[in-house]
A and B are shown apart, each in its own frame.
Chain A
Amino acid sequence: SAVISQKPSRDICQRGTSLTIQCQVDSQVTMMFWYRQQPGQSLTLIATANQGSEATYESGFVIDKFPISRPNLTFSTLTVSNMSPEDSSIYLCSVEARGNQETQYFGPGTRLLVL
């Protein structure tokens, strides 16, 4: 299995500011994903981040609001730009691991509160 860490683990931010969330994996992975989990809701895929190419965004999510970097096979960042209270959520990084079975492992999440 992959060990995934995220920074920061939580933050409280002011409206209109931006926050960059880091995701670090202990092994090289091809596919990395960013999800959002709003209070009382399920996880929703924001985008897929592949090394060496632009991120692919899901319907309802745009690059200007959620720019993503993927500089190498073990690291990615998600920025939440020009934040509003509606962006208060848990943001989760996940990676796809291929081996005996395909699966996706998740990081611990970043809890964001926007005031």
Chain B
Amino acid sequence: EDQVTQSPEALRLQEGESSSLNCSYTVSGLRGLFWYRQDPGKGPEFLFTLYSAGEEKEKERLKATLTKKERFLHITAPKPEDSATYLCAVQAGSGGGADGLTFGKGTHLIIQP
């Protein structure tokens, strides 16, 4: 069974204090690693898809990295509007739900002014 674990569960930072959110997983054949942002009362908002080791993608203050051993979302100099729950998900390469995503529980990020 595919599983995704995110750490930490919650993170409180001061504005401008950079940090990383981690994602670990066990999956039978990774097709893609996804990152989403979810605000309270809303559906997940797509951020990135990574496919292979060594791949990096950036969007504003966010950078997603996928290596053979590390998968993390780095946030640089965050602002209060970056406060949200960040979800990591994987798409497996086989099985009945081959195209569906398996999600972690998320990291609840709070940026204090």
Instruction: Enumerate chain A interface residues (CB-CB to B < 8 A).
Output: 1, 4, 31, 33, 41-45, 48, 56-58, 92, 96, 101-109, 111
Contact = CB atoms under 8 A, between A and B. Distances in A.
Nearest to A50: B99
B86 interface: no
Contacts of B4: 42
A42 B100 contact: no
B54 interface: no
A56 B97 contact: yes
B103 A43 contact: yes
B42 A108 contact: yes
B105 A42 contact: yes
Given A45-B97, A48-B100, A104 B43 contact: no
A103 B44 CA distance: 12
Interface majority SS (helix, strand, loop, mixed), chain B:
strand
A101 B49 CA distance: 7
B102 A45 contact: yes
A57 B97 CA distance: 8
Given A48-B100, A103-B49, 5 more contacts: A33-B101, A42-B106, A43-B103, A58-B100, A106-B46
Interface in B1-55: 4, 32, 34, 36, 41-46, 49
B43 A42 contact: no
Contact of A103 (B43, B46, B97): B46
Contact of A42 (B32, B34, B41, B103): B103
Given A43-B87, A104-B34, A109-B42, A56 B96 contact: yes
7 contacts: A33-B99, A33-B100, A42-B87, A42-B103, A43-B87, A56-B97, A57-B96
